[in-house]
Chains A and B, each alone.
Chain A
Amino acid sequence: MARDAVSMTRGLSRRLSGYGMLGVLLLLCALFSALTLRDQHPTGAAAARELARALAARADTAASVLALARDNAEERAFLADLTTRLRDARFTRVRSVAAGPPEFRAACEELAAADGPRYLLTLQTNLPAVRAIQSGLPEHTRPVILSPAPYRWPTFLLVDNLRNVANQIAVIAIVAVGMTLVIITAGIDLSVGSLIALSAVVCAWLVQAFGGQAAGPGALLAAATGAMLLSGLAGLFSGAMVVRFRLPPFIATLAMMQVASGAAYIISKGRPIYDAPAAFTALGRGVDPLLGLPWAVWLMLLLYGLAHGLMSRTALGRYVYAVGGNREAARLAGVRTGAVLLFVYALCGVLAGLGGVVTASQLKSGAPTYGLMYELYVIAAVVVGGTSLAGGEGRVLGTLIGAFIIAVIQNGMNLTNVESYTQKVVLGLVILGAVLLDRLRSRPAS
Chain B
Amino acid sequence: MAAGNVSPSSANPLLRLQGVRKTFPGVVAVAGADLRVAAGEVLALVGENGAGKSTLIKVIAGALRPDAGTVQIAGRDVTGLAPAHVARAGVAVIYQELSQVPGLTVRDNLFLGREPSLLGLLDRAGEQRRARDVLARLGCDVDVETPVARLDLARRQLLEIARALLADARVLILDEPTAALTPRETERLFAVVDELRRRGLGLVFISHRLDEVARLADRIAVMRDGEVLGAWPAAALDRRRLIELMVGRPLDQEFPPRDVAPGAPLLEVDGLAGGGVGAASFAVRAGEVLGLAGLAGAGRTELMRLVFGADRPAAGTVKVAGRIVAPGSPRAAIAAGLALLTEDRKGQGLVLCRSARENFALGNLDRWSRGGWLDLPRETAVFARHVARLGIKLAGDEQRAGHLSGGNQQKLLVARWLERDARVVVMDEPTRGIDVGAKHDIYELINDLARAGKAVVVISSELSEVLGMCDRILVMREGRITGAITEPAAASQADVMALAVCEASHGS
Choose from B330, B347, B361 the contact partner of A334 (Cβ within 8 Å): B330
Given contacts A318-B365, A332-B330, contact A325 B351 (CB under 8 A): yes
Q: Does B504 contact A (CB under 8 A)?
A: no
Q: Does B331 contact A (CB under 8 A)?
A: yes
Q: Are B348 and A332 in contact (CB under 8 A)?
A: yes
Given contacts A332-B310, A446-B24, contact A321 B351 (CB under 8 A): yes
Choose from B353, B354, B369 the contact partner of A315 (Cβ within 8 Å): B369
Q: Does A416 contact B (CB under 8 A)?
A: no
Q: Are A333 and B363 in contact (CB under 8 A)?
A: yes
- Alpha-carbon distance A334/B326, docked complex (angstroms): 13
- Alpha-carbon distance A314/B365, docked complex (angstroms): 9
Contacts of A321 in B (CB 8 A): 351, 354, 358
Q: Are B350 and A329 in contact (CB under 8 A)?
A: yes
Contacts of B331 in A (CB 8 A): 334, 336
- Alpha-carbon distance A445/B395, docked complex (angstroms): 15
Interface string of A79-113 (1 = CB under 8 A from B): 00000000000000000000000000000000000
- Alpha-carbon distance A157/B46, docked complex (angstroms): 64
Q: Does B416 contact A (CB under 8 A)?
A: yes
Min C-beta distance of B370 to chain A, whole Å? 10
By the criterion of a CB under 8 Å from any partner CB, how many residues of chain B are at the interface? 31
Choose from A314, A325, A328, A446 the contact partner of B372 (Cβ within 8 Å): A314
- Alpha-carbon distance A176/B365, docked complex (angstroms): 27
Min C-beta distance of B25 to chain A, whole Å? 6
Q: Are A392 and B353 in contact (CB under 8 A)?
A: yes
Q: Are B362 and A335 in contact (CB under 8 A)?
A: yes
Q: Does A322 contact B (CB under 8 A)?
A: yes
Q: Does A393 contact B (CB under 8 A)?
A: yes
Contacts of A40 in B (CB 8 A): none
Q: Are A329 and B351 in contact (CB under 8 A)?
A: yes
Q: Are A334 and B353 in contact (CB under 8 A)?
A: no
Interface centre among B347, B352, B358, B363 (most CB of A within 10 A): B363
Contacts of A329 in B (CB 8 A): 347-351, 362
Residue of A nearest to B334 (CB): A334
Contacts of B348 in A (CB 8 A): 326, 328-329, 332
Interface string of B325-362 (1 = CB under 8 A from A): 00000110011000010100001111111100010011
Contacts of B398 in A (CB 8 A): 14
Min C-beta distance of B126 to chain A, whole Å? 39
- Alpha-carbon distance A322/B349, docked complex (angstroms): 11
Q: Does A271 contact B (CB under 8 A)?
A: no
Contacts of A313 in B (CB 8 A): 373-374, 376
Q: Are A326 and B350 in contact (CB under 8 A)?
A: yes
Q: Does A330 contact B (CB under 8 A)?
A: yes
Q: Does A37 contact B (CB under 8 A)?
A: no
Q: Are B347 and A328 in contact (CB under 8 A)?
A: yes
Min C-beta distance of A364 to chain B, whole Å? 38
Contacts of B351 in A (CB 8 A): 321-322, 325-326, 329-330, 392
Q: Are B372 and A331 in contact (CB under 8 A)?
A: no
Q: Does A30 contact B (CB under 8 A)?
A: no
- Alpha-carbon distance A14/B362, docked complex (angstroms): 24
Given contacts A313-B374, A332-B310, A334-B331, contact A326 B361 (CB under 8 A): no
Interface string of B184-202 (1 = CB under 8 A from A): 0000000000000000000
Residue of A nearest to B358 (CB): A318
- Alpha-carbon distance A392/B350, docked complex (angstroms): 12
Contacts of B361 in A (CB 8 A): 318
Q: Are B363 and A335 in contact (CB under 8 A)?
A: yes
Q: Does A16 contact B (CB under 8 A)?
A: no
Which residues in chain B, 467-503, are within 8 Å of chain A measured between CB atoms? none
Which residues in chain A, 209-234, are within 8 Å of chain B measured between CB atoms? none
Q: Does A62 contact B (CB under 8 A)?
A: no
Residue of B nearest to A315 (CB): B365
- Alpha-carbon distance A333/B333, docked complex (angstroms): 10
Q: Are A333 and B362 in contact (CB under 8 A)?
A: yes
Interface string of A370-401 (1 = CB under 8 A from B): 00000000000000000010101100000000
Choose from B335, B349, B374 the contact partner of A332 (Cβ within 8 Å): B349
Given contacts A445-B24, A446-B24, contact A322 B354 (CB under 8 A): yes
Which residues in chain A, 280-338, are within 8 Å of chain B measured between CB atoms? 313-316, 318, 321-322, 325-326, 328-336
Contacts of A390 in B (CB 8 A): 353
Min C-beta distance of A209 to chain B, whole Å? 37
Q: Are A314 and B416 in contact (CB under 8 A)?
A: no
Q: Are B372 and A316 in contact (CB under 8 A)?
A: yes
Contacts of A393 in B (CB 8 A): 353
Interface string of A389-424 (1 = CB under 8 A from B): 010110000000000000000000000000000000
Interface string of A259-277 (1 = CB under 8 A from B): 0000000000000000000
Min C-beta distance of A332 to chain B, whole Å? 5
Q: Does B123 contact A (CB under 8 A)?
A: no
- Alpha-carbon distance A333/B349, docked complex (angstroms): 8
Min C-beta distance of B415 to chain A, whole Å? 13
Contacts of A328 in B (CB 8 A): 347-348
Q: Are B334 and A392 in contact (CB under 8 A)?
A: no
- Alpha-carbon distance A187/B373, docked complex (angstroms): 25
Which residues in chain B, 1-55, are within 8 Å of chain A measured between CB atoms? 24-25
Q: Does B366 contact A (CB under 8 A)?
A: yes
Interface centre among A314, A315, A329, A336 (most CB of B within 10 A): A329
- Alpha-carbon distance A328/B305, docked complex (angstroms): 13
Min C-beta distance of B158 to chain A, whole Å? 29
Contacts of B373 in A (CB 8 A): 313-314
- Alpha-carbon distance A328/B343, docked complex (angstroms): 13
Contacts of A326 in B (CB 8 A): 347-348, 350-352
Residue of B nearest to A388 (CB): B353
Interface string of B284-312 (1 = CB under 8 A from A): 00000000000000000000000010100
- Alpha-carbon distance A316/B366, docked complex (angstroms): 11
Contacts of B374 in A (CB 8 A): 313-315, 318
Min C-beta distance of B8 to chain A, whole Å? 38
- Alpha-carbon distance A313/B331, docked complex (angstroms): 22
Choose from A316, A318, A325 the contact partner of B352 (Cβ within 8 Å): A325
Interface centre among B362, B398, B416 (most CB of A within 10 A): B362
Q: Are A333 and B416 in contact (CB under 8 A)?
A: yes
Contacts of A314 in B (CB 8 A): 369, 372-374
Residue of A nearest to B416 (CB): A333
Min C-beta distance of B410 to chain A, whole Å? 14
- Alpha-carbon distance A318/B379, docked complex (angstroms): 13
Q: Are B362 and A322 in contact (CB under 8 A)?
A: yes
- Alpha-carbon distance A333/B362, docked complex (angstroms): 7
Q: Are B330 and A331 in contact (CB under 8 A)?
A: yes
Min C-beta distance of A17 to chain B, whole Å? 12
- Alpha-carbon distance A392/B358, docked complex (angstroms): 12
Given contacts A313-B373, A333-B416, A336-B331, contact A318 B353 (CB under 8 A): no
Min C-beta distance of B397 to chain A, whole Å? 12
Contacts of B347 in A (CB 8 A): 326, 328-329
- Alpha-carbon distance A392/B354, docked complex (angstroms): 7
- Alpha-carbon distance A297/B361, docked complex (angstroms): 35
Contacts of B25 in A (CB 8 A): 445
- Alpha-carbon distance A333/B350, docked complex (angstroms): 9
Residue of B nearest to A14 (CB): B398
Contacts of B416 in A (CB 8 A): 333
A sample of 8 inter-chain contacts (CB < 8 A) reads A326-B347, A329-B349, A332-B310, A333-B334, A333-B416, A334-B334, A336-B331, A392-B354
Rank and list the top 6 A-B pairs by shortest CB-CB distance, nearest first: A325-B351, A333-B363, A315-B365, A392-B353, A334-B334, A326-B351
Chain B residues packing against A (C-beta within 8 Å)? 24-25, 308, 310, 330-331, 334-335, 340, 342, 347-354, 358, 361-363, 365-366, 369, 372-374, 376, 398, 416
New contact pairs (16) apart from A14-B398, A315-B372, A333-B363, CB-CB < 8 Å? A313-B376, A314-B369, A316-B372, A318-B361, A318-B374, A321-B351, A321-B358, A322-B354, A322-B362, A329-B348, A332-B308, A332-B330, A332-B349, A333-B330, A333-B362, A334-B363
